[in-house]
Each structure stands twice: as structure tokens, then as C-alpha cells.
Amino acid sequence: MKKFIALSAATSVLALSTATAAEIAGRVTDGAETVPLRGATVTVQETGQSVSTARDGRFRITNVDAGNYTLIISYLGADTETVDVTVGDGIANVDIALGSSDSIVVIGQRGSLNSALNQQRAADGIITVLSADAIGQLPDENVAEAARRALGVSIANDQGEGRFISIRGINSNLNSTSVNGVRLTSPEAGDRRVGLDVIDSDVLKNIVINKTLSADMDGDAIGGSVDLETISGLDRDEMLLKVKVGTIYTELTEDFGPKVSGIYANNYMDGRLGVALSGSFQNREFASDNKEVSSWDSDGAIPFINDELEFRNYDIERERLSLAGNFDYMVSDNTKLYLNTLFNEFSDQEFRSRVEVKTEDALDGVTFDGRTAFYAADEDNGLEFEVDRDIKDRLEEQTIFSIATGFEHTKDLWTIDSSLAFTSAKEEEPDRLNANFDQTFGEPGQVIGIDTSDLLLPQVVFANASTQEAFLDASAYGLDKIEFENGETQDEEVAFTFNVQRDMQFGSNPGFLKSGVKLRLRDKRYDYDFQEFGYEGDGDDLSAFATSVDYPLDTFGPAPSAGAIRSFFNANRDDADILELDEVASRLESVTSTFEASEDVFAAYLMGQVDLNNLRITGGVRVEQTDVSAQANVFDEKGFEDALDALEDAEQLTAAAIEIAARNATDVTLIKQDYTDVLPSIAARYTLGDDIIIRASYYASIFRPNFGQFVPSGVYEDRDAADGEPGALE
């Protein structure tokens, strides 16, 4: 099946007639002939053939008979110009400088805006283009924040910084992200989406957001696709050197975060070799405060009841490094070789102090005074509430790398391109620590209230001084548990593409047929080690680890110190009399979270385009064959508990014996699946006037399940059931 699809896709165009005709080729620049104009529309008045200029300003019109023609060049930001050209038997070359007579072409920030608008106007589908120069004038921290300025685009924030992009309100997992046409893999363990807070916007040339798909695009982008374009040395005729130094001030921490970026682009060897290098570095320390509630409920008499209220305080240090290098070489006027690279490194050190007010076990005795819901403790009547104080000490390091090489070749009516790319995404969370201290309020007279007059910012109210004193008393909070985690995600993909296009006439109407194939080989794995320690010592309450945090939103009280907790853990993790490892909980989380998966996608497509006067129709069909395999674990929780009990009874509870018992309680599971999707698409573009273009499109696309959704992991309720049949899976 695969071979048939590949053969039919690759030969459908090649089977056409190889008759050739003359062509018109050239380049459109500004009046000074230094800046190429991308997205300019070049139309042959006599035939109606129309093309738009590429990123280097070049255009090519094929299938033209010998004779005299008039070219009409249209570009937003410049007056429309006409150029006469005579075509013989070969290629008629014509270079066009807009604004060389009575008009001028604006460059700089306004020029970048014009370039973006021209690209949008020339596109067959619906796209939004954001230019780097326009982005650079705005205080955006990363690519996600830059992209949110596009129409129909929103972002999900993390600690006040943009992270995930949503197109038309659709879940960010349903988008695809690429750099110079190369799909990026995801450092997120269970997801496909790429957090664009990793990439600095200063290393880009354009952000192109495709809101519709055509047959020559990957089919797994229901929301749309985001393509990040980096600069090329062939984009300019003169050297470009730009350095930017800045800082951002955070009022909560009273810190300045330095940022420096630079771009160098030039061409050599009489304009045949283009070199472009860009880089950006930022370090930022900041803080944030917020409140979270589980939900608001009502029992009729009391309109707002809540069973958990959280105070959160974050101290964060983030560091970004983005590097890009592009090398383009024109072997001839018809053939270009290229090598594109991108490297991004992002680290996020986060200390989160949290207070959780848990009132679920006091709901039966709640009262309301018209403003505040009061939760009273009385353990004799089963009423109590709990306050937890915890600390999260987490370092997250993400790396995204891509490298792609390929060629583009034009000959007569033919355009051929091919590429080979490798992308890698990695995330590490080394030595993460979570520590929890808690206090249960059960004495009669202990009453805490939640002021609900502002549901966005509910306040804690103390009914009496004794409750407030206990709430703020660090010595009243006992150490409950410490969690120690190590996680590593690796997501890699190798992709090969081959496309061939032939320009042709459909009767008297110009157009083209295009076909191609793409192979994507992806491997993803997640290794997770989780250890949960219960406190078995005596006297280590919160007062031994307490610190204070600046929290203006409410009464926070004492918080665990991350440094003191880490020192205590390192000193006592091997002493079971103080910190006892919960083998069952630790093994269960570690075993069921770890997985390996591979996903191979083979795609072939056939598409065509025809211009019918002012109407352009582009249609095609794409076929994608997906082969998936995944390996994970199912853990027998009860069987492992029973094995540990037996080892303890036999006084053989050694590390080696526990390891054997854990392996015996673990089943390695494997799934394999393959499926085929047929994805048609059609787009219509009607030019109503110089300033009005009407577009309509239909396309079919798919969403492949997130890796965390299809890996075969789980927990047996009881693998060795009494009837001899395996127990149910959770």
C-alpha cells in the first residue's frame, strides 16, 4: 500500500508532457535595490498569469510564448507599476525596483508591516504574518507573546508569560509548530504541543500562522499551523548587523532582568552564499502571587461554599538562550542548497510556597452571615478542617534543537525540492522536592471563615484569636511527607520530504499540478523516578524550617524554607527511622508513568491550481498512513503489597528482594496500531479589487492522540483474582 501511494504520488506529475516554453524571471526590490520585497504580486497583463515574489524578492512565470508582454507589479506601500518585457526562446530576466521614480517604498518597521500584509494578500489560504521588525518594537518575552497580537490567536500564560498558542479558541494541542517548515517535537511528557516560551522572538524573521490547510501541508493541525521563519543571508543585498540590549524590571522582587540579542546577515561569492546568524539571551528573576479555589457550591441557604482555598507564592528565575544559523548557497540561478539550524535552551527554577485551607470535613456545620461562610471544628461531631503548608523546589530545563538540509531546483516548467530534517526536544526535572506540613483543627471553638464578597479574591477570616494563633503557629504543623522526583522526556523525529511541481495551462487558464511525499519517523520516551517518604521522626515541625514570604493578598503565615528542606532531606533520606520510603506509592507512580513510543507517518498528496480570471482555485487530496507502537507498564499494587508483607514476615526485606518483588508485580505491555486518513482540501480566492480579496476554504485534518493518552499503562485492582481471571485495570 505504501509503495503504491508513493509511486502514484511521485509519478503523477512526471507522467505529464515534458514540452517546454519560455519564461519570465526576475526580482522585485525597493528603489535603492537593497531590500527585496516579499509578497509583491506580478501579473502578466496579456495572459492573466499571476505570481507572488518569494522571500528574496524573486519571481518566475513559466509557460509563456515568445512575444511582447506587460508586467503589472502591485505592492502595498508602493504605487502599482508596469514594465514591458520581450520574451524570446529562453528566459527573459527583468529586475524591478519599486519606488524608483516619483514614489518611494517605506522600509523599517512600517516596511515590515507592509511586507506582512503583502504576504497575507498573496496567500491562497488564510494566513496571518507577523514581521520580526514589528515584533522587536514591542516588549514580548517570547514567540507566544508575539503571536498573540495576530487576529484570532490567544495564548495560555504561565507565571504571566505566554506559553501555548491557541488558534480560533481551539485547544493548543490541536495546532502544529514548525521552524522554516520543519516540524518541532515537544518536550512535554504527555503532550504534542510545543511551549513557545522556550524560543525568543528576537531570532526570527517572521511568524506565519496558517488558519487553513492545503494538501501539501501536514494533516494533523485542526486548529492551524504556526511556522517560525528565521532570517537568510540571501534576503538582503547588503550586510545587516543589529544588536539590542534591554532589561525588564519586576516590582515584586525589585530585580532587573537583562536581555541581549543580535543578528548578522550577509552574502558572499557575488551573492551566491548567504550567511545569517542570530542569538538571544535573557535572565529574569521575578515573583507572583495568586489564589485558587477548588469550586464554588451552594446549599440554597448559603450561596457560596468552598471546600478548599489555596494561597500561592512563587519565586522564579528563568533563563533563555536562542541561537539560529542559516546557510544558503546558489549552485546556479536555478538551484539552491541550504542548511538551517535552531537551538533553544530554557531553564525555569521555581520555588512555590502554598497554604491550603481544606474545609471538606466541616461542610455539615457551615454557617453564613450574609458575607462570610464559617467552618467550625468539633471532632466529637465529626467536624474538622485542615491547613497544609508546603514547598515545591523544582528546576525545569528544556532544550529544542532542529537541523534541516535540502535543495530547491527549477528547470523550465518544473520545480523540485527536497529536505532531510532532524528535530529533538528534551525536558529534565532533576531532583525535584515537595515537602508538606499539616495541622488538623478539631477542637470546639476553632472556627475559620471564607469571606465571599469578592469571589475572585476570597479572604480568610478568623472567628477568634485562638484560631488565628493556631493558624500562624509554625510549631503546630507537623511534617507529613517529602516527595523526591526525577523526570526526563526525549522526543526526536527524522523527516524526509520530496515535492515536484509542473506549471501548465488548463486550456487558456494558467495553473500547476503538484505532488509529493513525506516520511516522519518519531520516537518519544519518558523516564520517571518517584519516591515518597513519610515522616517517622519526632519533633521536626515547621518551626525548624520556617521562613516568611511577602504575600499581600491575605494572611499567609509561616512557610517551609526550600534550602532547609533540601538539607534535611539529604541528611536523612537513608535513615528509615526518620524518613521511611513508601515503596508501594513510589513504585506505582514510577512504573506507570514511564513509557516509550514510536510514531511513523507516511504521507503522499496530489494537488492542483488554476486561475480563472480573478478567481483562483486550489484543491487536492492528502493521504497519511500512521503506524504507532508504544510500550509501558501495568502495576499490580495489591500483589506488590502482599509480596512486601511476606518479605517482612520472613525478615528478608532487603533492597534486592524488594526490587525482585517490584519486577514481579510489573507487566510490560505493548500496543501496535496503524490507520490511514484521506484528507481533501479546496480553497477559492477571488480578487474583487485592488484592496478586496474574498477567500473561502474547506479542509479535512486530524488529531493524533497525545502520547499520554494512548500508552498502555495502568494499575491492576487485583491481578490474581480468586476466579483465576485478571482483575480490572484502573
Contact by Cβ (8 Å): 266, 216: no
Alpha helices in 574-613 (DSSP H): 583-593
Taking the chain (730 residues) in runs of 10, the rounded mean pLDDT of each run is 45 43 83 79 87 87 88 85 86 81 52 77 87 66 76 80 83 88 90 82 83 93 88 85 87 84 91 92 92 83 85 94 94 94 95 95 88 91 94 96 95 93 96 96 93 91 94 96 97 97 89 96 97 91 94 95 97 94 95 96 97 93 97 94 92 92 94 96 90 92 90 82 50
* Per-residue confidence (pLDDT) for residue 723, from 0 to 100: 44
Calculate the dihedral angle through the C-alpha atoms of 687, 691, 697, 702, rounding to the nearest 10 degrees: 140
* Per-residue confidence (pLDDT) for residue 100, from 0 to 100: 57
DSSP for residue 463: S
| C-alpha span between 566 and 532 (Å, rounded) | 14
Give the DSSP letter string of 496-554. EEEEEEEEEEETTEEEEEEEEEEEEEEEEEEEEEEEEEEE--SS-BGGGTEE----TTS
The cell numbers describing 554, all together, are 491575605
* Per-residue confidence (pLDDT) for residue 18, from 0 to 100: 42
Q: How far is CA 544 from CA 179, 354, 474, 540, 563, in A?
A: 50, 17, 8, 6, 12
The cell numbers describing 580, all together, are 521511611
The cell numbers describing 249, all together, are 524590571
Give the model confidence (pLDDT) of 469-497 as tens digits.
999 999 999 999 999 999 999 999 999 99
Mean pLDDT of the chain: 88
* Per-residue confidence (pLDDT) for residue 10, from 0 to 100: 45
Q: Which residues in 452-470 are b (16+ Cβ under 10 Å) and which e?
A: beeeeebbbbbbeeebbeb
* Per-residue confidence (pLDDT) for residue 688, from 0 to 100: 87
SS3 359: coil
Q: How far is CA 83 from CA 32, 73, 75, 497, in A?
A: 17, 8, 14, 37
* Per-residue confidence (pLDDT) for residue 240, from 0 to 100: 87
| C-alpha span between 26 and 37 (Å, rounded) | 12
* Per-residue confidence (pLDDT) for residue 134, from 0 to 100: 63
Q: 215: Cβ–Cβ under 8 A, 6 or more apart, which residues? A: 605, 606, 607, 619, 620, 621, 622, 679, 680, 681
| C-alpha span between 125 and 215 (Å, rounded) | 11
Strand partners, 83: 71
| C-alpha span between 178 and 187 (Å, rounded) | 14
* Per-residue confidence (pLDDT) for residue 218, from 0 to 100: 94
* Per-residue confidence (pLDDT) for residue 166, from 0 to 100: 84
* Per-residue confidence (pLDDT) for residue 14, from 0 to 100: 44
* Per-residue confidence (pLDDT) for residue 6, from 0 to 100: 47
Give the model confidence (pLDDT) of 350-370 as tens digits.
999 999 999 999 988 889 888
| CA–CA–CA angle 497, 503, 509 (5° rounding) | 140
Q: Is 510 left (phi over 0), alpha (psi -120 to 50) or beta?
A: beta
